[in-house]
Amino acid sequence: MKTTAPPDPNPCRPRHFKPGPCGPAPQEGPTKQVLETSHTRLLITGALLCLAFLVIGGRLVEVAGFKSDDARIARVVPETHTLAGRADIVDRNGVLLATTLQTPSLYADPKEVLNARDTARKLVRVLPDLNEAEVYAKLTVDKNRSFIWLKRRLTPRQQDAVNRLGLPGIDFQAEDQRLYPQANTVSHVVGYVGVDNKGLAGIERSFDDVLRHRRQPLALSIDLRVQAILREEIARQIAEFKAIGGSGIIMDVNTGEVIALVSLPDFDPNDPGASPTANLFNRVTLGTYEIGSVFKIFTFAMALDEHVTSMTGGYDATNPIKIGRFTIHDDHAQRRWLSVPEIFMYSSNIGAAKMALDVGGDRQRDFLDRLGLLSTPKFELPEVAAPLVPTVWRPVNTMTIGFGHGISVSPLQIATAVSAVVNGGILHRATLLKLPPGEPVSGQRVLSPETSIEMRKLLRLVVEKGTGKLAEAPGYLIGGKTGTAEKVVGQRYATHLLMSSFAGVFPINDPRYFIMISIDEPHGDAKSFGYATGGWVAAPGVSRTVERMASLVGIQPIDEDSPEIRRSLMVALPTPSGWKFASN
């Protein structure tokens, strides 16, 4: 290579031009200028390219060598992938009440289906509840559609069977399905959802938005075990007395948490359409009833708190009261002067009416309003009824309301108000949500602690000696009040159609739980000697429920005959020979 001619100093020259033989051509004039210009241009271009490569190189080093934020994208993916459609609902112990599962739904793409008749026939063979003609119609009616549902929510077994057919144009799409493993047991509390998973009743409806956007399960105040016990015992009473329905509520008197809420007949939230519409009705919150003598609890609390009468006072209950077209008489008539505890014990309407009249209509209305009995309660369920309250509060209203007629309230309101009467006088809002344990719950004082203690004694007296003896549960010290109300049919009271209730509190010396059972239209039987009153129909259910639930909620049985308990619940009763302590 060394032998070849030295490189041409001017490669741009025309081929036919040869420079003179005397050395390189002098570079001057226009040629030199052109060369210098191109030199500069080359330099600039090179520098720019170098810069570009430097930038790219730097970026490469940065991406490869240092951790960048982009890595996070990869890590977020699984979380969003596994987000369930709707949050679970659990009870206070974390037992599942409602959950969401992915279930396959079957759809067809009519454009892809090869033989509609054959496809329809094969599908109906594995899914017998489909109609062959209908499926065929769906597959053929509109060839331009590329999506049509054939069947929603298949079981894994059905999905497998359809897959085995290997039909073209038939496919599955996963859909969220709401499931209620406890079926009927908590139906009225949890409620149910529609096909598109929108809440239509109960907690599902009132917390629809929350459940949609939440990931942790929603914990209710309900204790499933207690709920099941209460439901079973109410069902037993309904069956025994051939009643048309019943309701029950258990509440923590110190927090307002609802531990159990039962309304029978009920429904299966997995398929609410299968039950008659009447079963969807929540008797505890949406039903308002004239509750009868249970209401005397409020009359007595009011009279004692306002110091209108005292535990040693009394009223003459010898003769029925006639006012206007009403006659107020006693069911368990004693026909004599009765002391205040006796009026409560024998559930004397005459005594309660006179007591209410002594307090007066205005103070009565104020007191009942303070206990939340005259306004629609605030509660977590959408199915909450307003009480039926007389518009004009005449003396006759004062008297009838004194023993629980002429005013209709829901069992939920009774539970909230009685809890306040026995817990020392603090009214807590009823709630279905689990409150953090151990934290003080806010409430407002509605009556004095002294009145509350006196009311406990009176309630215990009813179970020990009065109309509620059948509610006794040995060791658990129940106190309570019976109530039997004639149902209003049309414009009048129907004497043979009763609403029989028992409202109880236990243990009465240090109240923990309120429990009320109401039985709708019970019929007395031989075992109850034909009686269908609250003391015969509802009280035994309360007794059994308390016996079964007490050990579950950690209540220790106590000796009712121990001197401390006796002394704390002593009530003086008049006897022909003077006042005598009832509990001796």
Partner 1 sequence: MIRPGTVVWLLLVMVVGYAMFQVKYEVMQQEDTLAQLNKQITDGRERIRVLDAEWSYLTRPDRLNRLAARYLDLSPIGSAQIVTLSAVPERPGAPAALVANRAPAAPSLSVAPIPSMPIQPGAEFATAISGIEP
**Other Cβ atoms within 10 Å of 84 Cβ, number:** 14
Interacting residue with partner 1 among 1, 5, 12, 114 (CB under 8 A):
1
Span interacting with partner 1, options 77-85, 127-135, 281-289, 308-316, rule CB under 8 A? 77-85
| CA 422, 428, 432, 437 torsion-angle sign | negative
Nearer to partner 1, 224 or 571 (CB): 224
- Establish if 228 lies at the interface with partner 1 (CB under 8 A): yes
Closest contact distance (angstroms) between CB of 474 and partner 1 is 6
Cis peptide, bond prior to residue 507, ω within 30 of zero = yes
- Contacts (CB under 8 A) with partner 1, residues 554-573: 556-557
Closest contact distance (angstroms) between CB of 519 and partner 1 is 20
Interacting residue with partner 1 among 474, 494, 530, 567 (CB under 8 A):
474
- Establish if 81 lies at the interface with partner 1 (CB under 8 A): yes
Nearer to partner 1, 19 or 181 (CB): 181
Span interacting with partner 1, options 8-16, 80-88, 105-113, 481-489, rule CB under 8 A? 80-88
- Establish if 26 lies at the interface with partner 1 (CB under 8 A): no
- Dihedral pair phi/psi, residue 241, rounded to 5°: -105, 20
The one-letter amino acid code at 143 reads: K
| Radius of gyration for the alpha carbons in the chain, expressed in angstroms and rounded | 41
Compute the distance between CA of residue 296 and CA of residue 485 in angstroms, rounded to an integer.
12
Interacting residue with partner 1 among 125, 551, 580, 581 (CB under 8 A):
551
**Other Cβ atoms within 10 Å of 268 Cβ, number:** 17
| CA 516, 522, 523, 526 torsion-angle sign | negative
- Establish if 543 lies at the interface with partner 1 (CB under 8 A): no
Which residue in 206, 263, 293, 500 is the catalytic one? 293
Span interacting with partner 1, options 174-182, 306-314, 327-335, 359-367, rule CB under 8 A? 174-182
Say how many CA atoms lie within 13 Å of 457 toward its Cβ. 24
- Establish if 219 lies at the interface with partner 1 (CB under 8 A): no
Residue where the block lists tokens 């509750």? 291
Judge whether 347 and 294 are in contact, CB under 8 Å: no
Span interacting with partner 1, options 21-29, 225-233, 297-305, 533-541, rule CB under 8 A? 225-233
- Dihedral pair phi/psi, residue 178, rounded to 5°: -85, 130
Pattern 415-434, partner 1, x by CB under 8 A? --------------------
Cβ contacts of residue 61 below 8 Å, gap of 6+? Answer: none
Give the SS3 label for residue 127. coil
Beta pairing class for 218-219 and 89-90: parallel
Span interacting with partner 1, options 93-101, 114-122, 395-403, 461-469, rule CB under 8 A? 93-101
Query: What six digits make up the tokens of 63?
Result: 């991406």
CA-to-CA dists, residue 561 to 250, 342, 469, 497, 570, angstroms:
26, 22, 16, 39, 12
Cβ contacts of residue 164 below 8 Å, gap of 6+? Answer: 126
- Establish if 95 lies at the interface with partner 1 (CB under 8 A): yes
Closest contact distance (angstroms) between CB of 571 and partner 1 is 24
Judge whether 486 and 498 are in contact, CB under 8 Å: yes
How many residues form the binding site for partner 1 (CB under 8 A)?
34
Interacting residue with partner 1 among 5, 22, 74, 489 (CB under 8 A):
74
Span interacting with partner 1, options 40-48, 223-231, 306-314, 328-336, rule CB under 8 A? 223-231
Q: Where are the beta strands (DSSP E) in 225-374?
A: 245-252, 258-264, 314-316, 321-323, 326-328, 337-339
Closest contact distance (angstroms) between CB of 555 and partner 1 is 9
Phi-psi region of 424 (alpha: psi -120 to 50; beta: other; left: phi over 0): left
**293 is an active site residue:** yes
- Establish if 218 lies at the interface with partner 1 (CB under 8 A): no
- Establish if 101 lies at the interface with partner 1 (CB under 8 A): yes
- Establish if 475 lies at the interface with partner 1 (CB under 8 A): yes
Closest contact distance (angstroms) between CB of 187 and partner 1 is 13
- Which alpha helices (DSSP H) does 271-386 contain, by range? 296-305, 340-345, 349-359, 361-370
- Contacts (CB under 8 A) with partner 1, residues 176-205: 179, 181-183, 185
- Establish if 302 lies at the interface with partner 1 (CB under 8 A): no
Compute the distance between CA of residue 519 and CA of residue 5 in angstroms, rounded to an integer.
123
- Establish if 553 lies at the interface with partner 1 (CB under 8 A): no
Cis peptide, bond prior to residue 320, ω within 30 of zero = no
- Establish if 96 lies at the interface with partner 1 (CB under 8 A): yes
- Establish if 548 lies at the interface with partner 1 (CB under 8 A): yes
Interacting residue with partner 1 among 102, 173, 310, 319 (CB under 8 A):
102
Nearer to partner 1, 137 or 174 (CB): 174
The one-letter amino acid code at 420 reads: A
Q: Which residues bind partner 1 (CB under 8 A)?
A: 1, 74, 77-78, 81-82, 84, 95-96, 99-102, 179, 181-183, 185, 224-225, 227-229, 232, 473-476, 547-548, 550-551, 556-557
Q: Cite the active site residues.
A: 293
